[in-house]
């Protein structure tokens, strides 16, 4: 089995064992650090979020079926998709929503089937704690861009907008629809990203110390509920990792994203589940209790 660099980093934030590493900076200075995770000695089951055939099965399973099959005490989900504007790696703006003859719509801010599936799993299994990244799509819009803009037609082909086409709305600039379906479930914990603290000796002092990362998806859902539920550091963070598509290697990576802030929350809650067992005769921590405890024990992060 080949390993995923992204999944390995995410797992490392949750519970990597001690991994001392000497970093050499561009100015020649060095620093010894340790990439150990928050909930060390945890046991992990890792699954691809795509629909695949699990070992021993003859039929495929989607991500929600995998959650039920795994029966986790807590699970982290650092993936998703963007149904609005996206400035992709090929240097062009692509509309991820629907577009047909001048009519457009998207699923941003919409409580849809994926969110319902997450919530139904927790509703049916109250001790399953699901933590989900908020997405990295904040502020992505085509306003003022000088690169070509495209939409995807019914045959899944990318088609360039013409000069006379009315482009889909820039909803982020209007203060809503900057968080997508996949990222707005009610029974799960949605995690955004903040920058590394720079004031107060890099320790929290006041709400103004916390700066939401520019890319971190946020703002109300279509029904007015605010997402994400909580944010923590996810920008310019380092973790132990592996080379992509290899059968085993070790190294470090530095990156940014809500993919990296979510597992920090997951690791903290993982420790809470263990403490709860120790305090209350091996009782499982309820998912609703975990969410309440997480939100109400957090420090105020100010405004976007």
- Res. 267: pLDDT tops 70: yes
pLDDT of residue 246: 75
Rounded mean pLDDT of 181-208? 91
Q: Highest-confidence range of 52-61, 97-106, 165-174, by mean pLDDT?
A: 52-61
Name the burial class of residue 80, with classes exposed (0-12), middle (13-18) and buried (19+) by CB atoms within 10 angstroms of its CB: buried
- Res. 164: pLDDT tops 90: no
Return left, alpha or beta for 186; rule: phi > 0 is left, psi -120 to 50 is alpha, else beta.
alpha
**What DSSP element (H or E) covers 253?**
strand 251-255
Give Cα 41 distance to the centre of its chain: 23
Question: Sorting pLDDT into bands at 50, 70 and 90, what band is 42?
Answer: confident
pLDDT of residue 241: 81
Task: Say how far apart CA 110 and CA 107 lie, in whole Å.
Answer: 5
For the domain spanning 5-77+108-139+178-296, the CATH number is 3.40.50.200
- Res. 205: pLDDT tops 80: yes
**Close Cβ partners of 224 (under 8 Å, ≥ 6 residues apart):** none
pLDDT (tens digit per residue) in 227-252: 999 999 999 998 888 888 777 777 78
- State the pTM of this model: 0.90
Q: What are the structural domain ranges in the chain?
A: 5-77+108-139+178-296
- Res. 15: pLDDT tops 80: yes
Q: Can you tell me which residue has the tokens 């409580």? A: 111
């Amino acid at each position: 089995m080949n390993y995923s660099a992204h999944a390995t980093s995410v797992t490392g934030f949750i519970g990597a064992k001690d991994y001392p590493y000497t970093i050499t900076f561009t100015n020649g200075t060095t620093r010894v650090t340790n990439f150990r995770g928050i909930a060390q000695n945890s046991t992990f089951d890792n699954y691809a979020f795509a629909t695949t055939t699990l070992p021993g099965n003859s039929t495929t399973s989607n991500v929600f079926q995998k959650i039920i099959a795994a029966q986790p005490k807590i699970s982290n989900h650092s993936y998703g998709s963007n149904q609005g504007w996206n400035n992709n790696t090929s240097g062009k703006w692509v509309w991820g929503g629907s577009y047909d003859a001048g009519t457009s719509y998207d699923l941003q801010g919409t409580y849809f089937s994926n969110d319902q599936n997450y919530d139904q799993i927790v509703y049916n299994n109250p001790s399953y704690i699901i933590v989900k990244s908020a997405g990295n799509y904040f502020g992505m819009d085509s306003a003022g861009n000088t690169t070509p803009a495209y939409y995807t037609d019914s045959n899944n082909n990318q088609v360039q907008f013409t000069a006379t086409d009315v482009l889909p709305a820039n909803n982020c600039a209007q203060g809503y629809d900057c968080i997508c379906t996949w990222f707005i479930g009610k029974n799960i914990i949605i995690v955004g990203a903040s920058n590394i603290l720079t004031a107060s000796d890099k320790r929290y002092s006041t709400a103004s110390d916390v700066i939401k990362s520019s890319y971190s998806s946020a703002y109300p859902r279509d029904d007015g509920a605010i997402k994400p539920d909580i944010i923590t550091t996810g920008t310019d963070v380092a973790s132990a990792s592996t080379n992509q598509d290899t059968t085993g290697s070790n190294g470090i990576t530095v990156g940014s994203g809500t993919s990296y802030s979510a597992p920090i929350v997951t690791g903290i809650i993982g420790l809470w589940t263990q403490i709860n067992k120790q305090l209350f005769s091996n009782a499982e921590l309820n998912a609703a209790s975990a969410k309440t405890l997480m939100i109400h024990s957090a420090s105020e992060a100010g405004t976007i």
